[in-house]
Chain A
């Protein structure tokens, strides 16, 4: 689908979310892209329950609360979210227009692009096994998109979290499922765990204690999987391997966008937080400049300054009058108060 907006924000973590607010005060509309299926970035994916103590005026706030509060704060500006997809390609349409394409086929054009991608986008953590990439998307899958493929097949699911157990439970009704984990305790929702243990009792799921060690091709389309339990080695043959070891962060396609990088971070100035490419900005943990501190509050400050410069790109003929939210009638109108 094609979209048009003022500013594309890549990354819907706390800094990307607050950027909506700062841009919104200047009447700029935003579309956000994030590879996770929810907003909040690291705050909601890695530490939703962990308290943060250095958000100004909040003595203590959890990652999820911070995300929820930011969503409330920016709601009035009607941001558009494109979740579950990665920003893949950027093209310059003209001097003042960018086109960003996502992995889900969305194409968004805008005058400015703001990269607020943290340490990068969340992608599945892949087991460090030799040659595993050879089998990816044929017999090794890190997510389930089409269940039918597994009908009547022999599947090994590796991991001990929610995804591993949810899929073991789900696929056990249509396939021959073995679950492998290094211990017989699981960090999944208690109901999911008891369901799995119940299915194991009924011989619908087979459980193996162990850790993946190597993969080889076997006759037919099968994989021969060797695994280790302490020092003991064993193996089994399966049609499919589904490793679920959570997510990790990776800079991804942005690394190839031609921006000046330093150790996988995007170099910006400290006046506008603009990258080496005019009208592309980088704010939050992804940028680097002398004295940079990777704090959420630094990202908030960067968002405010970036927004000023975006305004001059988006509305070159308009005067930008600096106003306070406490007193400005114009800002009150925008905020709906």
Chain B
């Protein structure tokens, strides 16, 4: 069991328990934070957009072609933008810090 830190749209920080094998989207959704994740995690929408704190970026797998394409439907996309249904939690990113992108 690990943890992730998520800042919501009101600026409040949440410390969430995270289990390997779950995606970051699932962890955020199941904790009841406001994340739409409309397509259910198959990288077919852009409603689980988060910003990853810069120093964690290199620990993540790079964006696949599909994620890059779907990010075109997101707003305020930055270098640190990810669709978190594509980020699987593991020991490598235990303690990762994320911010939910604006709605």
Contact = CB atoms under 8 A, between A and B. Distances in A.
Contacts of B47: 248
Interface string B13-42: 000000000000000000000001011101
B42 A47 contact: yes
B44 A182 contact: no
Contact of A127 (B46, B72, B75): B75
B67 to A, nearest CB: 12
A128 B45 contact: no
Dominant secondary structure of chain B at its interface with chain A: loop
B12 interface: no
A147 interface: no
Interface residues of A, number: 23
A161 B73 CA distance: 8
Contacts of A160: 72
Nearest to B46: A246
Interface residue SS majority, chain A: loop
A75 interface: no
Contacts of A248: 36, 38, 45, 47
29 contacts: A42-B39, A46-B38, A46-B42, A47-B42, A50-B42, A119-B38, A125-B73, A127-B75, A128-B75, A128-B76, A128-B102, A128-B103, A161-B72, A181-B72, A182-B72, A183-B72, A186-B72, A187-B69, A187-B72, A211-B75, A211-B77, A245-B72, A245-B75, A246-B45, A246-B46, A246-B73, A248-B38, A248-B47, A294-B40
Interface of B: 36, 38-40, 42, 44-47, 69, 72-73, 75-77, 102-103
Sorted nearest first, the 6 A-B pairs with minimum C-beta distance are A46-B44, A246-B73, A187-B69, A47-B44, A160-B72, A128-B102
